[in-house]
């Protein structure tokens, strides 16, 4: 019987291994390992890819988010104590970056069909204390619409993007990460563009913010040993940048493969007990970082899949407002978040899944019967 792991990183990276090895060797032989030409090149490549003027390589996705909010405070665009909207169905980093900077997360609910920020909840939660919103392009799909835009503009909110899961997605020709004032990217190995260790980036179209973030990521240094602000050390190292410089040109192909698998699932999975994810109105606006279905009897379903050799996961089993770390928020009600939280299951979807595995996953799911 087939064994299908949720994700096999060594397989994903094997097709690039010769190029990467060569490129890393060059970097090792250069003798320059931090703040060098690889990072600079990657920043240029990433900015161009996103059709934006500025990109800054960082240590990881969380640090990227953290630095954006820190820099918004330094530039006076936000002040400590301001409230920031963030969806509760996300990875905890989205909220932590807000809390870490003395800002107050204001958790909003999601839609039950696409898992993105719910506009009614946004209207509800946008008091006059709210000054910014962190839109999360969850599971790889762009979280943006005319309705959200109108609400956001009416309240004059600063828009920041958590683009850890959606690199390469685009809506009306605009890349995810180029919608708001600044955006955070993660190159955690399992992301659509994965490094071989931790890595991240920030993109922005704002020159002042770019300069502050760039300094803030490197000890607040405008020049070496000149420190104008209280900075951090959040640099992307040369080896990771070298890996990413090799992989970025292949990202569109990887995302295209993901889309074709999502399409096969959408056309092939027919089971009344299984609700498939809603397709986006624009195909390109989704890069399918995750394929998340909903099923009533989740434990049963996962056990069934497991018995048939298919590994599944849950993203995420506990909404952020229900976490111990966010105890103060445990009693708020975000009804859609809490409803889908017991039903969501992520099934394998990555650029290495072959046709046979996809067909096997589909037929296994079609044979599933709820007990
Ligand atoms: C992965 C992820 C992050 C954090 O990125 P790291 O590189 O792991 O720090 C933040 N937000 C979301 C939505 C993520 O999926």
Instruction: Give the residue, 370 or 110, on which the prediction is more confident.
Output: 110
222 pLDDT band, cuts 50/70/90, is: confident
Cα 295 to averaged position of ligand 1 atoms, centre (Å): 26
147 pLDDT band, cuts 50/70/90, is: very high
Q: Is any atom of ligand 1 closer than 6 Å to the C-beta of 64? A: no
Is the separation of the CB atoms in 50 and 177 below 8 Å?
yes
To test the pocket of ligand 1, the residue of 57, 64, 94, 237 to mutate (highest count of ligand atoms within 8 Å of its CB) is 94
**Does residue 340 have a pLDDT over 90?**
yes
- Per-residue pLDDT reduced to its tens digit, 121-133: 999 999 999 999 9
Beta bridge partners, 141, equal 286
Q: Is any atom of ligand 1 closer than 6 Å to the C-beta of 215? A: no
- Per-residue pLDDT reduced to its tens digit, 261-291: 999 999 999 999 999 999 999 999 999 999 9
Q: Is any atom of ligand 1 closer than 6 Å to the C-beta of 50? A: no
Every domain range in the chain assigned CATH 3.90.1150.10? 251-366
Every domain range in the chain assigned CATH 3.40.640.10? 9-108+115-249
371 pLDDT band, cuts 50/70/90, is: confident
Q: Is any atom of ligand 1 closer than 6 Å to the C-beta of 27? A: no
251-366 folds as 3.90.1150
**Does residue 224 have a pLDDT over 90?**
no
2 pLDDT band, cuts 50/70/90, is: low
- State what percent of residues in the chain have pLDDT above 90: 98
Q: Is any atom of ligand 1 closer than 6 Å to the C-beta of 200? A: yes
Mean pLDDT of 320-330: 97
Q: Is any atom of ligand 1 closer than 6 Å to the C-beta of 288? A: no
The distance from CA 261 to its chain's CA centroid, rounded to whole angstroms, is 20
370 pLDDT band, cuts 50/70/90, is: confident
Comparing CA positions, the residue from 123, 92, 81, 126 lying closest to residue 106 is 126
Mean pLDDT of 21-37: 97
Q: Is any atom of ligand 1 closer than 6 Å to the C-beta of 87? A: no
**Does residue 1 have a pLDDT over 70?**
no
Tell me the CATH class for 9-108+115-249. alpha beta
Strand order in the sheet with 344-347: 274-275, 291-295, 344-347
To test the pocket of ligand 1, the residue of 69, 93, 192, 235 to mutate (highest count of ligand atoms within 8 Å of its CB) is 93
Ligand 1 atom index nearest CA of 186: 7
The model carries a pTM of: 0.97
The per-residue pLDDT of the chain, averaged, comes to 97
- Which H or E element spans position 64? helix 61-74
Q: Is any atom of ligand 1 closer than 6 Å to the C-beta of 93? A: yes
Ligand 1 atom index nearest CA of 90: 13
Q: What is the largest CA-CA distance in the chain?
A: 67
**Does residue 225 have a pLDDT over 90?**
no
**Does residue 71 have a pLDDT over 90?**
yes
């Amino acid at each position: 019987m087939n064994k299908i792991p949720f994700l096999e990183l060594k397989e994903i990276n094997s097709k690039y291994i010769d190029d990467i090895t060569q490129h890393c060797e060059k970097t090792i032989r250069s003798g320059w390992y931090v703040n060098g030409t690889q990072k600079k090149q990657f920043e240029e490549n990433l900015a161009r890819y996103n059709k934006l003027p500025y990109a800054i390589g960082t240590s990881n996705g969380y640090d990227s988010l953290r630095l954006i909010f820190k820099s918004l405070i330094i530039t006076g665009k936000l002040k400590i104590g301001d409230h920031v909207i963030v969806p509760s169905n996300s990875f905890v980093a989205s909220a932590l970056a807000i809390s870490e900077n003395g800002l107050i997360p204001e958790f909003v609910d999601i839609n039950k069909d696409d898992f993105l920020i719910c506009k009614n909840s946004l209207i509800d939660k946008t008091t006059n204390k709210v000054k910014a919103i962190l839109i999360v392009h969850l599971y790889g799909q762009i979280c943006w619409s005319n309705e959200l835009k109108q609400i956001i503009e009416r309240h004059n909110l600063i828009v920041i993007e958590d683009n850890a899961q959606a690199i390469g997605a685009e809506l009306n020709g605009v890349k995810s990460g180029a919608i708001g004032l600044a955006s955070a990217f993660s190159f955690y190995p399992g992301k659509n563009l994965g490094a071989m260790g931790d890595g991240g980036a920030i993109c922005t179209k704002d020159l002042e913010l770019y300069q502050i973030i760039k300094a803030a990521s490197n000890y607040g240094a405008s020049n070496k040993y000149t420190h104008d602000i209280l900075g951090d050390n959040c640099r992307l190292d040369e080896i990771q940048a070298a890996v990413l410089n090799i992989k970025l040109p292949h990202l569109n192909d990887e995302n295209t493969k993901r889309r074709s698998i999502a399409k096969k699932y959408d056309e092939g999975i027919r089971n009344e007990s299984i609700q498939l994810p809603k397709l986006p109105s624009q195909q390109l606006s989704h890069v399918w970082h995750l394929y998340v279905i909903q099923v009533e009897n989740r434990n049963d379903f996962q056990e069934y899949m497991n018995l048939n050799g298919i590994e599944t996961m849950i993203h995420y089993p506990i909404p952020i407002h229900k976490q111990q770390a966010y105890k103060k928020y445990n009693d708020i009600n975000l009804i859609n978040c809490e409803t889908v939280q017991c039903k969501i299951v992520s099934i394998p979807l990555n650029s290495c899944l072959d046709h046979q595995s996809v067909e096997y996953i589909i037929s296994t799911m079609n044979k599933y019967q709820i007990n």
